[in-house]
Structure 1
Amino acid sequence: MRIWIVGVVAGVGLLMFGCGQSTEKEEAKLFSGFKKGKIQRESYGSCDTTSNAGAQVRIDIWEAEDTIAAARKINTQIAAKIIDRINSHADSASIAETPAAMKSVKGAFEVFDKNYRDFKRDFPDAPGCWEVEVTGDTVMVTPKLLLYKLDHYAFTGGAHPNTFRSNHVFDAVEGSELNILSFVSDTISLLEKVEKKFREVEKIGENANLEEAGYFLVNHKFFLPANFTFTRTGVLFYYNPYEIAAYARGPIEFLIPYAELDGVVKKDLIF
């Protein structure tokens, strides 16, 4: 009887070992799929620097090799975000009349270019090119997540161009986009730590009034940035221009190490 029990235990052990090996191989395959990729570039239109006129769209992004389903799904979502970025500068009626504008960068550019030409017809003396540029790259890849950032530059007239960054968290297994707040276990504590770090970076006293110092708050209260992401060493917080300070201040970013976020961030879900 004892020999039989030992045999069963050994068999279960071998089964668990085999399953463990299989899981590790699958994770390694997924991780490898995201470690390899290529730079995807697209450019449409041009800006004539002599006449200071024209419309142009440029895309320069990193794409994962589409050897696994999750990578293909993520690439599709990123492509859709880029098209949305371009279309955000176009007339909604023109987009509705042009289905191709929602399907490709080229289609989106054609509407953007048409809007520019219509504008120049109405205001022929208006100087300046219209430009949109989107760049994208990974922030970090783990067996569980792919962290990605998109940087957006646009100029369609006015005193200065607009720039902003968006960070995205994707499930490395399923390929779906995740809400970064799902990795936070204590948002109140996180907000306190971010405000403390913000004041340190901006050299603002602990009890100083941020609004009187020129910062923008929501209902007179400090807030987390719309964009933050995970790195190997900590959480990187990023306030876009105009989000909490004047355009001239530019983006405000800082990193808080994981050691200072123990019990606040679910690190086990990241790595």
Structure 2
Amino acid sequence: MSLPRTLTAAVTKSCRPLLFGLCASVSLAGAALAQQAPVPNPFEAELMQAAPELFGFLKTNFLSEFQDLVVNAQMTHASGGDLSGLVQGHLLQLRKSYAAKVAVASDATLAALGDATISLTNAVLEGEGELACANYSVNGPAVFDGTPAAAKYEDLLLAQIVHVLVAARDGITAPTARQDASDADWQTLIDHMIALGMSNEALAGLAQQDPTNPALCGTMISLFQAMASEPTGAGARVRAQFFSQVAAL
């Protein structure tokens, strides 16, 4: 048995909705890209007040993209448009643009991204149950639109996508030399998961990505944990490939 080399449902396919005023508790420490900040747009203060960690990070590390966002957000706000939708689309496009850089982020940064993804998946699993979590994992947070669950996981969603961007920044400023994950690396990871107690049935469910499989979220969490604990380096190479490919979706 072999897993597909890309399992896209582990990370949310969209980061919606993004509420302003909620602050993700993630560490944004590290070297910033050397850029000269211009005179700020007056609307910048509105964004900083709404989500200071997110927009502060973007300004420090992705300045030109942040400037574009501020201008577009000001126009959207003035016209009564969907500001959250604008920010959501901007973040997703930014994630896609720099997805390749995630593959050369440090092991520590990718481990933090894995932890953030585990935290998000665990929260949905505990809060909504196995079937809802499986549906969420495969189809993204849009499955909760119009329900009380829609606002419950926004902090964790925001933290997770910021961790992706932190990994991209890490890959830009201090790229890690790392071989691409091979089929042999995937097999090594599978063997490690089996040694940790995962069944062939669970592995099959992981590959199938069935949103009606109640065991899917637990198996996904086990996958991320196995990536972190695999001792030979194969798990780390798979993790780098996995998160880079998912970020590009």
- Give me the TM-score of the superposition, normalised by structure 1: 0.30
Indicate the structure whose relative CO is greater, using CA pairs within 8 Å and at least 6 residues apart: 2
- Give me the TM-score of the superposition, normalised by structure 2: 0.32
Bigger radius of gyration:
1
Choose between structure 1 and 2: higher helix proportion: 2
